[in-house]
Amino acid sequence: MSEIRETVITPKKGLLEFNLAEIWTYRDLLYLFVKRDVVTIYKQTILGPLWYLIQPLFTSVIFTLIFNNIAGIQTGGVNSFLFNLAGIVVWNYFADCINGTADTFKKNENIFGKVYFPRLIMPLSVIVSNLVKLGIQFFIFISFYIYFAFKGEVGALGWQIVFLPVFVFIMGLTGLGMGMMISALTTKYRDLIFLVQFGVQLLMYLSAVMYPIALAKEKLPTFLGNMVSYNPLAMVIDDLRKILFFGGQDFAIVNLAFPFITALLLFFFGLLLFNKTEKSFIDTI
């Protein structure tokens, strides 16, 4: 006689509830959503997955021409194209995470209204699927890094590169937290979604993607310089460059404390809004 399994669905007891056991139970569904995001996004395009490579490479070339060749921004002896590519690859992961999760409820309202599964699976699938894109782009970065290293246009690689997963974790958790907050707000304020891409683009210029933080402190007015200096995203990108190009000079593990704590706070606040919205969004969306 076959075993009868029974699943009891109960409402969340707290707004900060994060049931890892339940998410693990639905890991196959998470895998299917990740596979869908990776396979279908460029399925009917001519170049397909090559778009993963074209976007950061072309953006790096444009940034190099405009900010380094025309504006004369110095990169401390590092090849300017490689300097920009490092910032863009890391920034793209954050931007893709926040853009992908910002419209979770609206984009998946048909699925949410028909079947039960942990709603957090959706934004988590975006974070995981973007890791695949990040891996491909980082592989391209490593290829250029080796090429320019042989030409002597990059500095020493610091042993602190072992903290790379921590940098990725901070960027992904920050994007997830902000994305969940926005997704909760867009169930009532639909026009907010139109501001997301513009806001992310504006935030990029305040996150030291195409210049060093030290240059921002020197050239920008005090107010703007402080906005860049205390931007946790800018701190992560700048510290990663110190490890990749300058042998970890001026980098200490404690440097990650502020971005890490900020990412955790954003995640928990985003989780609170996400869980609160989950209870009633189907009636308002």
Q: What is the pLDDT of residue 184?
A: 83
Is it the case that residue 279 has pLDDT exceeding 80? no
Q: What is the pLDDT of residue 13?
A: 53
Judge contact between 15 and 276, C-beta under 8 A.
Answer: yes
Start-end of H helices in the chain: 20-25, 27-40, 51-63, 80-101, 104-107, 109-112, 121-150, 164-186, 192-205, 213-219, 222-229, 232-245, 257-278, 281-284
Q: What is the mean pLDDT of the chain?
A: 84
Q: What is the pLDDT of residue 14?
A: 55
Confidence of residue 249 (pLDDT cuts 50, 70, 90): confident
Is it the case that residue 224 has pLDDT exceeding 80? yes
pTM here is 0.87
For range 254-269, the mean pLDDT: 93
CA–CA dist 95, 197 (Å, integer): 9
Alpha carbon of residue 130 to chain centroid: 8
* Amino acid letter, residue 174: T
Q: What is the pLDDT of residue 32?
A: 87
Greater model confidence, 36 or 60: 60
Encode pLDDT of 73-99 as tens digits.
888 888 999 999 999 999 999 999 998
Q: 255: which 2 tokens?
A: 């440097």
Encode pLDDT of 24-51 as tens digits.
888 888 888 888 877 776 665 555 667 7
Return the top range by mean pLDDT from 36-40, 42-46, 60-64, 184-188: 60-64
CA–CA dist 141, 27 (Å, integer): 31
For range 206-210, the mean pLDDT: 92
Mention every residue, 6+ apart, whose C-beta is less than 8 A from residue 20: none
Is it the case that residue 232 has pLDDT exceeding 90? yes
Is it the case that residue 1 has pLDDT exceeding 50? no
CA–CA dist 48, 242 (Å, integer): 34
Radius of gyration for the chain, computed over Cα atoms and rounded to the nearest angstrom: 21
Q: How far is CA 202 from CA 3, 167, 195, 259, in A?
A: 56, 21, 10, 19
